[in-house]
């Protein structure tokens, strides 16, 4: 009896600076050629039917032409789906299982994976430690803004979601387990957020919303979030937290004195990255490339305190204005940080270290983020316009729904 042909697969493809398109792409195979040209045998993987694939703020660095991303890359690294095919070496997953896919591509076998550093896997990227789906210099693995996707090393990489009606009730919250919710939590842990601490969060976008929710979960006493986007700040206020309109107080210190009665917070979490301040990374004061957010955090974090840096900073920036910034070199007031004895933690999040605990918190009703995200659920065909709108600063979180499983065009508000 002849096997049934594979279904049509479409994906969101990076075409060059400022350009993405939806194109027909090959159906995933367990024997894959990566964008780097490297061939991999992935019978330890699964092929999933993608039900939710989010557009991430870090995708915009590539689309805006600020990286070395090459045309032809299938974008997307925030993926939730259902197992469609199982490789011969997979032991713990079965067809029909719902899974959250951490954005890290990790082997589970190398020394870093064994040390719970899947973000720095030594085997899944031949160019540098650490790999990810659909991202520049991260191993050439195809992304998940598509109908069907390969997930290698599936026993290690996939978080199996419970087969329960509660999973469907919470699916929009669970859709953030693949990246931004664990990333935000990682930043909070790295900054030292715990019961009673005061926290400043730089950025009120989706990662900032997740960080705010995580700070509440961890027991912070006062949470303050700063941004230039007043619509996003209004959402933070609905979460019961204080805000700083950086249009009015870019130095932040006077706002801290009004809120806390002092000029320092115990912990800071950076949720914006190298393209802060109007999407371009240029100081509003000088017009030059500068690590303005980090330098501000050095000044407002209590001596001996911690800073979690979750925004993306890349070793090269092809769209920068000056030669140093093109090499990823930006003025950092390190002496200020050193003199204050600050502890700064950054880098990609080891997503799977936190996924299961955060999933349990969501399912138990202790952690909610979706209703504060201003989510817009879109089809694959809508993705190019969503990228354009997001690039222009739309205060939304776009979730691509390739198969129409999620209700289309629904906004969730607090």
The CA-based dihedral angle spanning residues 36, 40, 42, 47, taken in that order and rounded to the nearest 10 degrees: 30
pLDDT of residue 388: 94
Which CATH number does the domain housing residue 299 bear?
3.40.50.720
Q: Are residues 86 and 174 located together in one domain of the fold? A: yes
When pLDDT is cut at 50, 70 and 90, the band that residue 25 belongs to is very high
* Whether the predicted pLDDT of 202 surpasses 70: yes
When pLDDT is cut at 50, 70 and 90, the band that residue 411 belongs to is very low
* Whether the predicted pLDDT of 247 surpasses 80: yes
Q: Are residues 301 and 390 located together in one domain of the fold? A: no
pLDDT of residue 287: 43
270 part of a folded domain: yes
Q: Are residues 156 and 272 located together in one domain of the fold? A: no
pLDDT of residue 3: 65
277 part of a folded domain: yes
Q: Are residues 195 and 70 located together in one domain of the fold? A: no
* Whether the predicted pLDDT of 278 surpasses 50: no
* Whether the predicted pLDDT of 143 surpasses 90: yes
Q: Are residues 268 and 203 located together in one domain of the fold? A: yes
Residue 302 phi, psi (nearest 5): -55, 135
356 part of a folded domain: no
361 part of a folded domain: no
355 part of a folded domain: no
pLDDT of residue 391: 87
**Mean pLDDT of the 284-305 span:** 79
**Mean pLDDT of the 280-285 span:** 44
Give CA–CA dist 10/22, Å, rounded: 7
When pLDDT is cut at 50, 70 and 90, the band that residue 407 belongs to is low
406 part of a folded domain: no
SS3 for 242? Answer: strand
Residue 9: how many other CB atoms lie within 10 Å: 19
264 part of a folded domain: yes
pLDDT of residue 382: 96
* Whether the predicted pLDDT of 408 surpasses 60: no
Q: Are residues 208 and 330 located together in one domain of the fold? A: yes
pLDDT of residue 87: 98
The owner of tokens 């509440």 is 216
Task: Give the chain's domain count.
Answer: 2
pLDDT of residue 290: 59
pLDDT of residue 286: 46
When pLDDT is cut at 50, 70 and 90, the band that residue 406 belongs to is confident
Q: Are residues 193 and 280 located together in one domain of the fold? A: yes
The owner of tokens 């290690």 is 156
Residue 43: how many other CB atoms lie within 10 Å: 12
* Whether the predicted pLDDT of 397 surpasses 60: yes
Residue 394's contacts (CB-CB under 8 Å, 6 or more residues apart) are none
The 10s digit of each residue's pLDDT in 314-347 is: 777 666 677 766 776 778 899 999 999 999 999 9
Token output for 174: 């669970």
**Could you tell me if 11 and 22 are in contact, meaning their C-beta atoms sit under 8 angstroms apart?**
yes
pLDDT of residue 68: 85
User: Taking all residues of the chain, what is their mean pLDDT, rounded to a whole number?
Assistant: 91
Q: Are residues 68 and 20 located together in one domain of the fold? A: yes
- What is the Rg, in whole angstroms, of the alpha carbon atoms belonging to the chain? 21
pLDDT of residue 329: 75
**Mean pLDDT of the 71-83 span:** 96
User: What domain range is 166 assigned to?
Assistant: 10-178+369-400
When pLDDT is cut at 50, 70 and 90, the band that residue 276 belongs to is low
**Mean pLDDT of the 406-410 span:** 53
Q: 277-291, 303-317, 395-409: which range is least confident on average?
A: 277-291
**Mean pLDDT of the 23-44 span:** 96
* Whether the predicted pLDDT of 121 surpasses 80: yes
pLDDT of residue 2: 53
The more confident residue out of 129 and 253 is: 129
Which CATH number does the domain housing residue 111 bear?
3.90.180.10
pLDDT of residue 318: 66
* Whether the predicted pLDDT of 175 surpasses 90: yes
* Whether the predicted pLDDT of 402 surpasses 70: yes
Q: Are residues 208 and 286 located together in one domain of the fold? A: yes
**Mean pLDDT of the 162-186 span:** 95
Give CA–CA dist 273/375, Å, rounded: 22
Q: Are residues 377 and 330 located together in one domain of the fold? A: no
Q: Which of 84, 67, 158, 59 is nearest to 402 (CA)?
A: 84
299 part of a folded domain: yes
Q: Are residues 172 and 248 located together in one domain of the fold? A: no
Q: Are residues 271 and 193 located together in one domain of the fold? A: yes
Chosen domain end from 345, 360, 385: 345
């Amino acid at each position: 009896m002849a096997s049934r042909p594979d279904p049509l697969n479409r994906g969101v493809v990076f075409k060059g600076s400022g350009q993405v398109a939806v194109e027909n792409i090959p159906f995933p195979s367990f024997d894959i050629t990566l964008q780097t040209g490297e061939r991999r045998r992935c019978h330890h993987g699964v092929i999933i039917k993608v039900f939710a694939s989010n557009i991430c703020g870090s995708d915009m660095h590539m689309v805006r032409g600020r990286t070395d991303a090459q045309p032809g890359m299938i974008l997307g690294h925030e993926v939730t789906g259902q197992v469609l095919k199982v490789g011969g070496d997979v032991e713990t997953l079965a067809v029909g299982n719902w899974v959250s896919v951490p954005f890290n591509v990790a082997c589970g076998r190398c020394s870093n994976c064994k040390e719970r550093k899947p973000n720095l896997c030594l085997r899944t990227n031949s160019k540098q430690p650490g790999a990810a789906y659909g991202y520049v210099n991260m191993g050439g693995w195809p992304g998940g803004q598509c109908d069907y996707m390969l997930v290698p090393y599936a026993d290690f990489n996939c978080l199996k979601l419970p087969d329960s009606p509660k999973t469907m009730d919470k699916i929009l919250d669970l859709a953030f387990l693949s990246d931004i919710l664990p990333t935000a939590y990682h930043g909070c842990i790295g900054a030292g957020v715990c019961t009673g601490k005061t926290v400043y969060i730089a950025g009120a976008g989706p990662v900032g919303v997740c960080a705010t929710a995580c700070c509440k979960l961890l027991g912070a006493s006062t949470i303050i979030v700063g941004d230039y986007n007043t619509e996003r700040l209004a959402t933070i206020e609905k979460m019961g937290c204080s805000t700083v309109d950086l249009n009015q107080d870019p130095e932040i210190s006077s706002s801290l004195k009004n809120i806390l009665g002092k000029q320092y917070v115990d912990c800071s979490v950076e949720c914006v990255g190298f393209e802060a301040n109007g999407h371009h990374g240029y100081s509003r004061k000088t017009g030059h490339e500068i690590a303005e957010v980090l330098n501000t955090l050095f000044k407002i974090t209590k001596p001996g305190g911690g800073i979690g840096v979750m925004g993306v900073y890349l070793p090269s920036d092809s769209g920068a204005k000056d030669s140093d910034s093109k090499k990823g070199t930006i003025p950092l007031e390190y002496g200020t940080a050193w003199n204050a004895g600050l502890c700064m933690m950054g880098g990609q999040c080891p997503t799977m270290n936190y996924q299961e605990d955060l999933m349990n918190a969501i399912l138990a009703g202790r952690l909610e983020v979706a209703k504060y995200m201003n989510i817009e659920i879109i089809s694959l065909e809508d993705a190019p316009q969503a990228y354009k709108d997001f690039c222009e600063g739309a205060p939304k979180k776009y979730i691509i729904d390739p198969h129409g499983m999620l209700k289309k065009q629904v906004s969730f508000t607090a």
